[in-house]
Amino acid sequence: MIIKNRDALLSHGNVVGRRVVLDILEAGLGAPDPYENTRKLVRVEDGKLIVGLPEFSQPPGRPPVLFDLSKVGKVYVVGGGKAAQRMAKAVEDALGDRIAEGHVNTKKGDKVLCKRIEVTLAGHPIPDQDSVEGSRRIVEIERKAKKGDIVFACVSGGGTALMALPVPGVPLEDLQEVYRVLYFGRGANMPMANAVRNQLAMLNTKHARYVGEATLVQILTDEVPPGLRVHMFRSADHKSAYQRAIDVLKTNECWDKVSERVRSFLLKGDPQYGPIRPDETDGKPHYNYRVMGPEYMLEAALAKAGEMGLNAQVLVSSMSDLEAQPIAEALAYVAQEMEVLGRPLKPPSVLLCGGELVVTVGDTTGVGGRNQEFVLTAAQRIEGSKNIVIGSADSDGTDALTGVAGGIVDGHTMERVRAAGIDVAAELANHNSNPALESLGDTIVTGFLGTNVRDLRVVYVGAGG
């Protein structure tokens, strides 16, 4: 059972509709674990290490690569991200004591599963000293690799914070402040934030820099469905990575809010710490594989809805970078359209959405997350409905800085809000959705799920009167 407080969530409100939404969330959240696909990707047969499947290779279609284990040097496993340990554990289970050394950084709240591979529980979404120390250990291992060795790098969303190794001259506290003012304070989307953060960190996207002539096998859990244009932000190709970072900070009115050390480093533009250069990868044995993405979660949720006899559609696979509150209102309007007029789907019906919305907190002091803010906003619009239930949860099991995955609301929620004396408008203005939903018993608790494919939102409309 992934949703640990299911009975409590079914103790009030539209119980029938809540059960439908929780069943679909359960199916979706259980699907994107990258372990099994990584085990399929990496296997040992008859003294040969086989790496690859055509459907996982990047670009797709590349046949598997075979290594004679009697001729392979040392095998190392490194990486970082919310799903990194699950991928590393799969490699560990495939190779066992053939792994000479390894280290991965995963998010605090995860359980240590690996035995031969060291694990650091690090800070996310704000990096901490454990992020730094674990990243130093990763680089140390990568630098040991020689020609004939193999380095598996397991990477997923969250790696920017979890593998935050600041560049020389920029202390951790300066990097932490960049995260706060840009991502939280200004609500910059991930590509914008990463355009800055990746220039201030030595690891994350730069594993190829440290492995030398060794074979590098990068295994990825992706946050974006294949083939979709998700983010509006596009970096100008003619500009250097450092200039793009400067532009992002200035565009978001953050240039004067970051430290002088950060500004000086970006203005200097030292190429040895910038993006990977072609000469660092050309002609070298590097292989990339994508073993997991949000489509697995959405397809599992869609299949579950179909099994339940519902008219179901994925409305959008990756609705990202938009503020949670107006999107919640828009989808609540769509739910009402289905309830009253039977379009775009006739009830009983379900709409599914993926992606990662934004909550720009500015100077507010509330506690919450995009999924909780989404459902609490929607609750106002669906008040009084006997048929609509809306749930939303983060696939990693933690919504922003809270210890819950998300929340669920229905047409009875606002009645309970008033009985509890909660001023929803004030709480949303302060981005304080978590205490409000906690007091109603409407937060979804899963614990850390060991993956990261963004969020799953479920809009259900029953067929009752």
Give the pLDDT band (50/70/90) at residue 217.
Answer: very high
Q: Which helix (H) or strand (E) holds 410?
A: strand 406-410
Residue 86 shares a structural domain with residue 224 = yes
Q: Give the domain extent around 397.
A: 6-31+294-460
Q: Which of 196, 137, 139, 201 is nearest to 168 (CA)?
A: 201
Which of 258, 273, 292 corresponds to the end of one domain? 292
Q: Are residues 389 and 405 in the same domain?
A: yes
Task: Flag whether 1 is in a domain.
Answer: no
- C-beta of residue 38 within 8 angstroms of C-beta of residue 291: yes
Domain with residue 169: its CATH number is 3.40.50.10180
Q: Do 265 and 299 reside in the same domain of the chain?
A: no
Let me know whether 139 and 61 are in one domain: yes
Whether 276 and 300 share a structural domain: no
Classify the phi-psi angles of 397: left when phi > 0, otherwise alpha if psi is within -120 to 50, otherwise beta: left
Are 41 and 135 in the same domain? yes
Total domains in the chain come to: 2
User: Residue 371 sits in a domain of what CATH number?
Assistant: 3.40.1480.10
pLDDT tens figures, 80-126: 999 999 999 999 999 999 999 999 999 999 999 999 999 999 999 99
14 plus 44 within the same structural domain:
no
Supply 290's token pair. 């994508």
CB atoms within 10 A of CB 346: 12
The mean pLDDT value for 183-211 works out to 90
Q: For 342-373, what is each residue's pLDDT tens digit?
A: 999 999 999 999 999 999 998 899 999 999 99
Q: Look-up: residue for tokens 């990047």? A: 58
Last residue of a domain, one of 253, 269, 292: 292
Mean pLDDT for 163-184 is 95
| CA 304/CA 309 separation, integer angstroms | 9
For residue 249, being part of any structural domain is answered with yes
Alpha carbons 204 and 160: distance in angstroms, whole number: 6
Answer yes or no: is pLDDT of 234 > 70.
Answer: no
pTM, two decimals, is: 0.95
In a shared domain, residues 16 and 161: no
**Does position 54 have pLDDT exceeding 80, yes or no?**
yes
Let me know whether 348 and 393 are in one domain.
yes
Task: Verify that 41 and 179 share a domain, yes or no.
Answer: yes
Amino acid occupying residue 417: V
Residues shown for the chain: 465
Asked whether residue 305 falls in the same domain as residue 322, the answer is yes
State whether 232 and 342 are in the same domain: no
Q: pLDDT per residue over 370-404, tens digit each?
A: 999 999 999 999 999 999 999 999 999 999 989 99
d(CA 24, CA 441): 19
Boundary (domain end) residue, out of 292, 315, 345? 292
Residue carrying structure tokens 């560990």:
92
